[in-house]
A and B are shown apart, each in its own frame.
Chain A
Amino acid sequence: MVALTDQERAMLDGSDGAAVQKAIELLVRYADALGADRFVETDNVAGVPGSSTPWIKQYYAADGGDYRAVFSRYDLDSDEVVDVPRVNAFSCHLQGGMDPELWAEQGFSAEAHANFASDEAQVAGHGIQVLKTCTPYLAGNVPVMGEHCAWMESSAVVYCNSVVGARTNCEGRESTSAAMLAKRIPDWGFHRDEFRRGQHRVQVDVPVDDIFEWGMLGYYVGIAVQDAIPVLDGHIGPPNLIRHKHFGAAAASSGGVEMYHMVGITPEARSSEQAFGGRPRGETFVYDSTARAETYAALNALGRSMVVDFVMLGCPHYSIEQIAQAARLIEGRRVSANSALWIFTSRAVKATADASGYTAILSRAGARLMTDTCSSISQAVPAGTRVVAVDSAKQVHYLPAIMGLEGWYGTTAQCIDAACTGQWRGALV
């Protein structure tokens, strides 16, 4: 049983109100399932609090079918509906279901948009930052080393642990919504030093030096180590934010990697010894040209037709640097009449893209810069889409399966070329 402080026991007794009581009740059930001994305090929570489809609201129609009902019964898994006050922790809302302006083009009805807008007003009203992105670290929530966080979104979690050195497990909707109220999360997993040490070694024998290569390496690593913690060493090119973003998203999707070490690169791996921290070293995996070719083939396993009718970029949400690159690649060209190009980012980054002229360049070329969501999250693709091309290993892992499409994985330049020609000409070089 999880041990409680006096303050936590008071929460359970209802001293901080019914919503906090329901929140800590759920967190106790969760901590006991994990086998956690105690809670840690957190003041940095990222989730999707209270946002729901009309289907879920309808399910709780007898309770009023509103935000309060969904937050109580679904987010807090409470058997009774309670009043939900402004949240107590610094909290943000991750990605959402549609673009706040281009929703009709994404195929949503006015009713669906009204539901979206109503939930968003509730989120804001509850004191939760409306970041609406899978990349909170690019939109105003950058944790610091050692900070205890409670984050959802596997690509953000792996970034938070590995690149920043902050501490979070891969939380879920219910645990993050509860943590927003109770400011607690079980002291288990990545909150604890011993859990963060490396388990398997990955020797990188081929040069890995752009997001296409980092994405493939991440996909390989996830398949190799599943949900263990890899320690990578070898020919890893100069690190930057977007390379880590694509590597981590891929590794979290193909396996369940929530933290990785790269020797000499990530903050808890100044040396291989530090990364393993005395833990017994498990297997060694070698990423060589054969492994690279097999990974490429796996990522393109659902590609058949060379006729590409949709290109989706922005998984995880594009940084301003990537939007600038996309604008440079497409300037002077046009998206094919037989294809479409949607690029996804956060509202914060889009504001910079607007100011920097990139949104206008993309728009003139027939591309769309969208926010909040992606095609997998929103299940929105242009009407009639059969074959999609992406520059994200994570997105090609999910989107074809979710939407029943063929999918190609390639470089950003190959994807933009496919959008402009309607033809897939990607290949491993």
Chain B
Amino acid sequence: MNDAVFIDAPITLRGRGIVPGVAEGEALVTRETISGWGGVAPMSGTIIESRHELRGQSFAGKILVFPGAKGSSGWSSIFHTTRLAGTAPLALVFNVMTTKVALGAVVMRVPSVTELDRDPLELIDTGDRVRVDGDAGTVTIWKFSV
């Protein structure tokens, strides 16, 4: 990544870390909830749900920023399998707590933060550089600009 294209002053959001650890990388943002089983191909980390705005895109190695989980109770199992396959996101940032996303984050063991003081979906765009600190419960954003 070329630092020159990122705005210098970062934005920091404060919330609750639910899985510890720190990760930094490129954001992949969706305003649509994500189905695990039947919605994600775990061997590639690709969204496969019909009509999903991220259909065909992989979250592997990205900071996944999304509203929350929906659909089958296989959610945790699919995301758990991405950890085994090496296709897991680097970190999770999400808004709505459910058992699906909580368990999925726990077994995927990637830094995860929720209950943020400002809406991450409003402030983060795909391509922004994001640092997720699951210990401190913070999300730091460097806006990508052209």
Contacts and interface: CB of A to CB of B under 8 A. Distances in A.
Interface of A: 26, 29-30, 32-35, 48, 56, 59, 74, 77, 151-154, 157, 169-175, 186, 188-189, 226-227, 252-253, 255-256, 301-302, 376, 397-398, 400-402
B97 interface: yes
29 contacts: A26-B106, A26-B107, A30-B106, A33-B19, A33-B103, A35-B16, A35-B97, A77-B106, A77-B107, A77-B109, A151-B73, A154-B73, A170-B73, A172-B73, A172-B107, A173-B74, A173-B76, A173-B77, A174-B76, A174-B80, A174-B103, A174-B107, A175-B99, A188-B99, A227-B33, A227-B96, A253-B72, A256-B100, A401-B50
Nearest to A94: B73
A400 B99 contact: no
Contacts of B74: 152, 172-173
Interface residues of B, number: 36
A400 B50 contact: yes
A33 B105 contact: yes
B77 A172 contact: yes
Interface stretch (B4-12, B63-71, B116-124, B138-146): B63-71
Contact of B98 (A74, A173, A174, A227): A227
Nearest to A172: B76
Given A188-B99, A256-B98, A152 B38 contact: no
Interface string B54-90: 0000000000000011111111110011001000000
A401 B80 contact: no
Contacts, number: 107
Per DSSP, chain A at the interface is helix
Contacts of A376: 38
A175 to B, nearest CB: 5
Q: Which 4 A-B pairs have the closest CB atoms?
A: A172-B76, A256-B70, A33-B18, A152-B73
B70 A227 contact: yes
A157 B38 CA distance: 18
